[in-house]
Amino acid sequence: MKRASRRMGFTLVELLVVLAIIGVLIGLLLPAVQKIRDAAGRIKCANNLRQIGLALHNYNDTNGQFPPGIAGGQSPWEPPPYRGTHYSWSWLAELLPFIEQANLYQQADAWSHQSDRDAPYTTWYWLYSGDWWTCWQNTKTPNPAFGTIVDLYFCPADSRNLKLEDLDLGGGCTTPVAFTEYLGIAGFRLAPWSWTWPPRPEKNDGVLGVGSKVRLTDITDGSSNTFIVGERPTSADLYYGWWFAAGGYDNSGRGDVVLGPREYDYGAAIGCSANPKIGFQPGKIQDNCDQSHFWSLHTGGANFVFADGHVRFLSYAVDTPARPTSTFTELCTRNGGEVPGDY
């Protein structure tokens, strides 16, 4: 009797069917994995912002006011040789002792005492590079904090290395630069931008503006109805978003460490006057024009810190950038007398 032969594999049709089933399963799984990943990034980002909100309140409890969005003028003024002024330091820099970065703050402060200046103030370049025009003849090195990445200051959803190792200042001098994706709410502009110092006047209706000294009692719209920090990833060119101290697009810090709800002039300054992007709307890292408005790498919206310290994820539907005002702009101001609707 003949023994029945055993099949040792699949037929081509069976193999194709199996591959098709696997492909369908992968197609169903990938969106679910992406949703889980996006949700995890959003939660981690919100946790970062909660710590920043808590640090802002600890700073307020210690100093009786929130830190300035960016220090303006002499802060404080000192006679020659002008040692140790925190000229144009950002709110993020002043917050270092309150986010367990006291050592980094002390290093930057000690560094600032080593540099002499020949005028009450020069350009905002001094704020991080000191005597850069002589390649740090006095300080010997660039500011130690300026090129230090602080993980708390950027969104976990962004996997980029947000640091430039060698920013060329000219004359053979270079310095590292680190970035942030969390910007303070600066309120509305009162006059067109300018490269002059001091910067053009602001309406002073945000919480973190140039030279601001806002107290909780100054937030008359209610701290639970007023933004203090929001998200805005830096674009691929890594031109704006320097966290420690920077002049922004007009010497007020706007675009680097603070941002307002309607930055028409910022868009024009970066060559986007034909299609200015303002307010709160989706963006892309590859589009430099998306530097001039709030957005995030999360799906559908972004996280914001309110002045009372709580964090909330808001949908882009909260703003209508084509209009001069919206629920979003009302939440950006601290003393406008608005009563925001549901959001």
- Per residue in 143-178, pLDDT tens? 889 889 999 999 999 989 899 888 777 667 778 899
Question: What is the SS3 string spanning the chain?
Answer: CCCCCCCCCCCHHHHHHHHHHHHHHHHHHHHHHHHHHHHHHHHHHHHHHHHHHHHHHHHHHHHCCCCCCECCCCCCCCCCCCCCCCCCCEHHHHCHHHCCCHHHHHHHHHHHCCCCCCCCCCCCCHHHHCCHHHCCCCCCCCCCCCCCCCHHHCCCCCCCCCEEEEEEEECCEEEEEEECCEEEECCCECCCCCCCCCCCCECCCCCCCECCCCCHHHCCCCHHHCEEEEECCCCCCCCCCECCCCCCCCCCCECCCEECCCCHHHHHHCCCCCCCCCCECCCCCCCHHHHHCECCCCCCEEEEEECCCCEEEEEHHHCCCCCCCCHHHHHHCCCCCCCCCCC
In a domain, 23, yes or no: no
pLDDT for residue 72 is more than 80: no
Nearest Cα neighbor of 305 from 229, 233, 211 is: 229
What is the C-alpha separation between 99 and 92, in angstroms, rounded? 10
**In whole angstroms, what separates CA 258 from the centre of its chain?**
7
Range 282-297 average pLDDT: 95
pLDDT for residue 9 is more than 80: no
In a domain, 10, yes or no: no
In a domain, 327, yes or no: yes
For the chain, the C-alpha Rg in angstroms (whole number) is 24
90-99 pLDDT, tens digit each? 999 999 999 9
pLDDT for residue 76 is more than 60: no
Encoded tokens for 139: 């300080």
In a domain, 199, yes or no: yes
218-255 pLDDT, tens digit each? 999 999 999 999 999 999 999 899 999 878 888 788 99
Burial class of 52 by CB neighbour count within 10 A (0 to 12, 13 to 18, 19+): buried
What is the torsional sign of CA 173, 271, 255, 265?
A: positive
In a domain, 28, yes or no: no
pLDDT of residue 168: 77
Q: How far is CA 263 from CA 60, 284, 302, in A?
A: 27, 17, 18
Q: For residue 268, give its domain range.
A: 42-332
In a domain, 342, yes or no: no
pLDDT of residue 249: 85
More confident residue, 340 or 307: 307
What is the C-alpha separation between 304 and 232, in angstroms, rounded? 10
In a domain, 68, yes or no: yes
Length, in residues, of the chain: 343
Number of structural domains the chain divides into: 1
Range 281-310 average pLDDT: 96
pLDDT for residue 118 is more than 60: no
Q: How far is CA 219 from CA 126, 226, 252, 335, in A?
A: 33, 8, 21, 6
In a domain, 26, yes or no: no
pLDDT of residue 166: 82
What is the C-alpha separation between 75 and 43, in angstroms, rounded? 36
pLDDT for residue 190 is more than 90: no
